[in-house]
Structure 1
Amino acid sequence: MMIEKHEDRCLKSCMCHAYVRKNWLGSIVFPFSALLQQSEFSDQIDVLQRAQSFKKNCKAIFPNRRITTTVFNDEGIQILVTRYIKALNPPQQLLDIFLHDSNATLDLIARFVSLIPLMPDTLDENGSSDIWMTSERCISLAIGNKEEHAILLCNFFLYFGKKALVLLGTSMLEGHVAYVLTQETDEFLLWNPLTGQCHKQFDSFCPLQSVDCLFDDGNVWFNIQQNNTPMAVNFDYSKESLWKQLLPKHVQGTKAQSIQPKEIIYSDTNKSMVEDIKNRIERTLKCKMMEWRPKQPTRWNRQCTSILRQILPKLELGTGSFVSCEKESEFERLLQFYWVSGFPIQMPYTDVQSVIDAVYKTGIHSSEFPQTEFALAVYIHAYPNNILSVWVYVASLARHQ
């Protein structure tokens, strides 16, 4: 930096002398990449402003329909929801089970996602202050909200080359929901990532009530059809008379960089830890069953318990017959002497208390038949990253009079 300075140390009669003094104050370097990032940041501001305006216009048309265009990532930066969508690899363990059955593999992957415990929504119902994690963080923490479940399942489906989008709507059972929409050859499928269930568009048993919004890695579409029930919706989002799109066609080709990783690295679940949890749940449930029956004895039927332990591992993957021929004959002999009433309970593992509460709500412990016996079996199927599927089979046995 150059500073020009004039000094005069002579008397008034002397001539004035001037010179330039050079003072070094430091330097600032502007790398070319920073200029590019500044340009990208400016473009991002424009897109975010467009997203807010788009959302406002959509709400003016249908105030009660859901529309989410931007959220905050786990660093507190506001970004487009499209940046969460990217093909990601499921655990290799899941891919190796049904090597020659792609449909069974997709069902298993949907089941895996459903086993990740749900984090309740505690923020703004309109989605304007939502914070979403990446799929990798959702897997590593083994927890996620409804939208994070749907994004993870959508990304897994994209890994298989499926045409998949995240769908925001409402359900008669769960309120605000996020589903995954996949397009098959001649139909659309609706996947509930919290249950792993798949419904065809015209399935009357599908709990989805409204289809409000779709998004993928390139755009967001808002449903402007008068009837937004799944059976009545036309899912051809290329028709602007049916779907209002956030980004115009000339912008869609320039997709924003995804915040997802290149791939997800999975960790093995400790088998001894799983065995300890299983034993703890079984011991605790037996003690609780006796506590819940303070005025009556609680007898355990070992033969029935042994049969139930054979059944549970096969329920997880739905493979083969439930019991072997030997166990089946044992069960038939059991039915000659007892009236057996029971059912399996399946749930993602969060803690032991959640399992206790689920068994207590069944009320099976309240049987007042004389000489009632009980059977209880626990099985835990371990998936990578400590994601566990807990099965509890509880049965009551009353002797024939």
Structure 2
Amino acid sequence: MMIEKHEDHCLESCSNHSYMKKNWLGSIMFPFSALLQQSEFSDQMDVLHRAEIFKKNCKTAFPNRRIITTVFNDEGIQILVTRYIKALNPPQQLLDIFLHDSNATLDLIARFVSLIPFMPDTSDENDGLDIWMTSERCINLAIGNREEHAILLCNFFLYFGKEALVLLGTSVLEGHVAYVLTQEIDEYLLWNPSTGQCHKQLDPFCTLQSVDCLFNDKNVWFNIQHNNTPMAVHFDYSKEIFWRQLLPKNFQGTKAQSVQPEELIYSDTNKNMVEDLRNRIERTLKCKMMEWRPKYPTRWNRQCISILRQILPKLELGTGSFVASEKESEFERLLQFYWVTGFPIQMPYTDTQSIIDAVYQTGIHSSEFPQTEFALAVYIHPYPNNILSVWVYLASLARHQ
């Protein structure tokens, strides 16, 4: 600020005297980007407010149906669920296995997602207050909740150009679930991320009990059909008579940027570590078998163990001829002398105790016939980012009399 001194030549008899001065105090600049961000923030707040009202209205109409419109990201910021949907690349290792069979590749990708361990279930009363990880963090940490699994699988399908959405509903066996809905030429398919299984809409073996809500990167749709069982639902979410949508058509609000990265980077799994783990699990299970049979000797049939070790790697990729002809002949010769009882167990790797519990629950160790022999084989198939598929084949053999 600049102040100038002026002499006053006004006579003492003057009763009034006034001055006008202009002083420069500085300047303030408002970048256009800041104004734009402020406008975008205002738009997002309007959308979040709309989402809250939309959810309340839907719950008022159908209190027992699930709907999630907003969640908190890992920075504690409330955002629309639509920002989690974006096409993302699966591991190249999976894409190279079935180069000329796209359906087999999709099945394998669904299986890969199912092998990522699940977080313990939390109360579903917190819908809308949950914290969701991005697909990148879900892969890197090798863990996720039901919705994060479904989002990851949906994003993988979008990478292939599929018309895919996340579906929220309930299951007979699993309670509240998140599936992936894909639209094919003449049908809709329902994918269960926890098992990797795909069901057609009219499949009676699908455990999905209700279809409550859909969302993709553009919108959220709430099912207002009286009958919300999968077989009866009209999945054409463009029809307002069946589905109530959060954002109106041709919505002019600013489209928020996705929270997902441009692409996913994967790390290789150490195969030596996997082999050490396999040996450790196999030794532990054999010791447990003897502990569970304190009154009887535990004899191992080496021939059967060798055959089972050849079978398990083929089961992982679901190839048709899972046993080579030579091994098949060996197994048939074995059946000429023994009654063989057993089956393979497959599960994602979380810890050794979970595998021990699964084997114990089969009850195969409880045979009281003193001449019973046993066969045990363990195989671990490594996927990127230390995601492991564990196979255990346990069998009991009783010699024919």
Answer yes or no: is the 8 Å Cα contact 1:218–1:252 preserved in 2: no
Q: What residue identity is the alignment partner of 1:364?
A: I
Matched, 1:119 2:102: no
Q: TM-score, normalised by structure 2?
A: 0.93
Matches of residues 163-202 of structure 1 in structure 2 within 5 Å? Answer: 163-202=163-202
Which secondary structure does the structure 1 equivalent of 2:345 belong to? strand
- Say whether the 8 Å CA contact 1:340–1:396 is kept in structure 2: yes
User: 1-side partners of 2:92 and 2:228: how far apart?
Assistant: 38
Report matched runs for 1:139-288 at 5 Å.
139-251=139-251, 255-288=255-288
Residues 29 and 349 of structure 1: CA distance in aligned 2, closer, same or farther (over 3 Å): farther
1:37 aligns with 2:3: no
CA distance in 2, matches of 1:252, 1:161: 26
Provide the C-alpha distance between the structure 1 equivalents of 2:2 and 2:197, rounded to a whole number of angstroms: 74
What is the TM-score with the length of structure 1 in the denominator?
0.93
1:311 corresponds to 2:325: no
Q: Partners in 1 of 2:312 and 2:383 — Cα distance?
A: 16
Answer whether contact 1:214 1:220 (CA < 8 A) is retained: yes
Structure 1 residue 128: Cα displacement: 2.3
Unaligned runs of 5+ in 2: 6-11
Q: Measure the CA separation in 2 of the matches of 1:350 and 1:195.
A: 15
* Counterpart in the other structure of 1:398: 398
1:321 maps to which residue?
Answer: 321
3-state SS in 1 of match to 2:179: strand
Equivalent-residue separation in structure 2 for 1:252 and 1:157 (angstroms): 28
Q: Which 10-residue stretch deviates more, 321-330 or 108-117?
A: 321-330
| Letter of the structure 1 residue corresponding to residue 313 of structure 2 | P
Instruction: Measure how far apart 1:30 and its partner are.
Output: 3.8
Report whether the alignment pairs 1:92 with 2:92.
yes
User: What's the CA shift for 1:331?
Assistant: 1.1
Letter in 2 for 1:388: L
Structure 1 residues 332 and 257: alpha-carbon distance in aligned structure 2, compared to 1, 3 A threshold: same
In 1, Cα distance between equivalents of 2:336 and 2:233? 53
Please name the residue that 2:347 is paired with.
347
Residue pair 2:40, 2:254 contacting (<8 A) in 1 also? no
Task: List per-residue Cα deviations over 1:261-308 (Å, max 9, x = no partner).
Answer: 000011111111111111110011011111111111111110000000
Q: Match for residue 101 of structure 1? A: 101
Distance 1:27 1:122, change over 3 A: farther
State how far apart, in whole Å, the 1-side matches of 2:275 and 2:4 are. 82
Measured after TM superposition, the shift of residue 337 of structure 1 is: 1.3
- CA RMSD across the alignment: 2.4
Structure 1: distance between partners of 2:182 and 2:4:
74
How far the C-alpha of 1:52 sits from its partner, in A, is 0.1
| Aligned residue in 1 for 2:8 | none
Distance (whole Å) between structure 2 residues aligned to residue 341 and residue 89 of structure 1 = 42
Cα distance change of structure 1 residues 205 and 276 upon mapping to structure 2, 3 Å threshold: same
Partner Cα separation in structure 1 for residue 335 and residue 125 of structure 2: 52
1:15-94 aligned at under 5 Å gives the runs: 30-94=30-94
1:256 shift after superposition: 2.1
The structural deviation recorded for 1:38 is 1.2
Deviation at 1:253, TM superposition (A): 8.3
Q: Which letter maps to 1:301?
A: N
SS at match of 1:251: coil
Structure 1: give runs of 5+ residues left out of the alignment.
Answer: 7-12
Deviations 1:236-259 (A, max 9, x none): 111111100000002178532111
Displacement of 1:19? 12
- SS of alignment partner, residue 227 of structure 2: coil
Q: Give the share of equivalent positions with the same residue, in percent.
A: 84
For the residues of structure 2 that align with 1:126 and 1:166, how far apart are their CA atoms?
18
Is the counterpart of residue 298 in structure 1 residue 289 in structure 2?
A: no
The answer (yes or no) to whether the contact 2:297–2:370 under 8 Å persists in 1 is no
